[in-house]
Amino acid sequence: MSGPSLTPAAVASALFDFSLRPSQNQAVGAVVAGRDTLAVLPTGSGKSAIYQVAGLSLGGLTLVISPLIALQRDQIRSIAGRPYGAQRPIEAELLNSSQRAHERQDTLTRLARGDLDFLFIGPEQLTNPETRDAVRAGARDVGLFVVDEAHLVSEWGQEFRPEYLRLVDAIAELGRPTILALTATASPPVQADITRRLGMQSPEVIVADFDRPNISLAMRQTQPSKPEARAVDDRCVDVVIQQETPALVYALTHARCESLADRLRLDDFRTAPYHAGLAAGARADVQDRFFSGRLDVVVATSAFGLGIDKPDIRTVVHAGVPSSIDDYYQEIGRAGRDGEPAAAVLVHDPRTIRIPRSLAARTHLGEETLHRVVDAIENAGGKVAVADLVESSEVHAHAVDRVVNELSELGFVSLAGSGHQRVVEPEQDLPRPVDLTDQLVALDQRRQAVLSSRLNAAREYAESTRCRRAELLAYFGESYAPPCENCDNDQFSKPAAPSRPAVTGGIPVRHRLWGEGQMLSRDDHELLVYFDSVGYKHLTASTLSSGILHRR
C-alpha cells in the first residue's frame, strides 16, 4: 500500500510523538536513501522503530522476516491499527504456521489486493513453495525487506538458522528491494557474515549504543579445592543471594540447570529450570510464571533466548564461561531493560571450559563425513533430495544439511524446496569430488579455529584484570575510555598507570603468519585482532613494532 509523502522525522513524530535517536536516524536515513543497511543496536534501543519509520517513509509493503511467532505477534501489536497522524490506520498482518486456514487465506487476499503496509513472516515460510509463490505474486510493491534477529544468518551464532540462508534467493525473486538487517549482537566477523549471506550491496553498517551503563559487570571465581559441580553451584547460589531478583541464571548443561534450581529452592527462592530437555508445555509454564512474577529465578540454558522481554530482570548470572562474547552480551542484555540498576555476574571455574569446547567440537564434520556426502551427490548424477542423500551416504541428517548448505554457499550446488524434501542440484562445472572435499575440509578447519578463538576471547574476558566494559565493547568494535567505575576490576583494583583509551575498532592489519585482520582494540599492553583465517587473537602491543603485525 502506498504511504503518504512524509519525511522520516514527520513519520516518527506521528507514530511515536518523539524524535529518533542519532543511531536510529542514521539507519532510517540510509534506508530511505535506498542503501542496504545493517543496524547493530542493543535490545531496548528501538530497532523496530527503524523499520516502521523507514517503511512508511518509503511507501509500499514492508516485509519483515521474524524468527518466532511470539515475536511476530508482539511486533504486530506494536503497530497494527496505530493512527498514522491524520492519515488512515496502519495495516499490518502476519503469516505463520499457527494460523487457521481462513486466517491465512484472509492475509493472502489482503496481500494480493495491496492492502498491507507491513507483513510479518517467518523465514521457513519462504522455503514453502506455495507460500513463497503467493508472497511473490502479491508483493510486487515491496519497498523494504527487513531481516530481524539477523545474527541468525551467521554460522558463528549459537542459534544459527539454516532457513535464513535462503533469504537471499527470496530477495532476488522480489525484485531486490532495499534490505534492512537488524540485530542486538554482532561482532565485526558476524557483521561481515550477515551482509555477505544476505547479498547486501555496499551496505551502511551502523554499530552504536552498545554500552549499557546501568548493568554492573563482575566475575566471581569458584573455590578450586571443591569438586567442579559443587564449586559452581555454591558460588552461583552465593551470587544470587547477594543480588536482587528477578534473576536469570545461565547454565551450560541440562543437569546443571536442574541441580542449581534444586539448590536455590533450598534457600527459599521460587525457582524453576528451563532447557530443551523439558516438554514444550513445561517450558511455556516456566516462562509464564517468570513473566508474571511467580518465580524469582529461572535457571536456563541458552534455550531461554529470543523473545525474552521482561524489563525488570535485576540480575543475570552465568554458571561458567559461555561459548562466545556474542552469546554473553546478548544474554546479559536481558537485565535492566527498564533502565534501573542491574548486575551481570560471571561465575568462572576454568574446568567448565571443556563444556563449550566440547560443544564446538561437535560442529566438526570430519573428512570421512564430507567424502561420503560429496560422493553421494556425485553418484546421484543430477538432482537428488536431501532425504535420499542421508540414506545413500549413511550420514546423520544434520551433517548432510550442513554439507549441502556449505556447497550452496560455495556456489557448487543450488537448493530448492524445504526440510529434508529439499532438492540438491549440482552445477555443471562441479569440481572433482576429491577437490570439492578438500575445499570443505579447509572450510571446516577454519570454522574450528574461529570457534576456538571465540571461546578463548570469552575466557580471557573472564580472567581480565582490565576494565570489563572497555573489554566487552572492544569486542564489538566500539571504543570506550576506561575506567567505567561500574565493574569489579575498576572498583577493586586500580592500574598502576593509566592506559591509553582504546582506539576505534576495524583498523586493517596484516600478520606475518595469519594474514589479513582487523584490529578491534589497542592499549599500552595488548591488542585484540580478528583474523579471517584463525579468528580472535589477543596479542602483545609490541607485535606492532616488531614487524610481525603491521597496519595495511
Write the pLDDT tens digit of every residue in 517-530.
888 877 666 788 88
Residue 217 has pLDDT above 50, yes or no: yes
Q: What residues does 272 pair with on adjacent strands?
A: 298
Mean pLDDT, all residues of the chain: 84
* pLDDT tier at 99, thresholds 50, 70, 90: confident
Q: pLDDT band for position 500 (50/70/90)?
A: very low
Question: Greater confidence, 190 or 44?
Answer: 190
pLDDT of res. 504: 46
- State the pTM of this model: 0.78
pLDDT confidence of 306, banded at 50, 70, 90?
Answer: low
**Rounded (10°) CA dihedral 334, 337, 341, 343:** 0
Do 322 and 205 touch, CB atoms closer than 8 A?
no
The predicted-structure confidence for 463-483, as pLDDT tens digits, reads as follows 999 899 998 888 887 778 889
Q: Choose between 201 and 86: higher pLDDT.
A: 201
The answer to whether residue 346 scores a pLDDT higher than 90 is yes
Task: Judge whether residue 366 has pLDDT over 70.
Answer: yes
Percent with pLDDT over 70 in the chain: 89
More confident site: 70 or 241: 241
Instruction: Pick the most confident of 195-209, 481-495, 520-534.
Output: 195-209
Non-local (6+) Cβ contacts of 46 within 8 A are 20, 21, 24
Alpha helices (H) in 362-432, listed in sequence order: 367-380, 386-393, 397-410
**pLDDT for the residue numbered 511:** 86
Residue 550 binned pLDDT confidence (cut-offs 50, 70, 90): confident
User: Is residue 510 a contact partner of residue 550, using CB atoms and an 8 Å limit?
Assistant: yes
| Number of other CB atoms surrounding residue 354 within 10 Å | 13
* pLDDT exceeds 60 at position 85: no
Q: List pLDDT tens digits, range 390-443.
A: 999 999 887 888 888 888 877 788 877 665 567 888 877 778 888 888 888 888
Mean pLDDT across the stretch 457-467? 92
Mean per-residue pLDDT, 525-538? 79
Of 532 and 155, which is predicted with more confidence?
532
Helix axes 47-58, 8-16, angle to 10 degrees: 120
- pLDDT at position 160 is 55
Domains and CATH numbers, the chain: 8-207 (3.40.50.300), 210-361 (3.40.50.300), 367-446 (1.10.10.10), 475-552 (no CATH)
In this predicted model, which residue has the larger pLDDT, 524 or 232?
Answer: 232
pLDDT at 499: 46
Question: Which pLDDT value is given to residue 107?
Answer: 85
Instruction: Look at residue 452 and tell me whether its pLDDT is greater than 80.
Output: yes
> How does DSSP assign 200-252, residue by residue?
-SS-EEEE-----TTEEEEEEE--TTS-HHHHHHHHHHHHHHHS-SSEEEEES
Higher-confidence residue of 109 and 252: namely: 252
pLDDT of res. 5: 55
**Contact by Cβ (8 Å): 135, 109:** no
pLDDT recorded at residue 169:
80
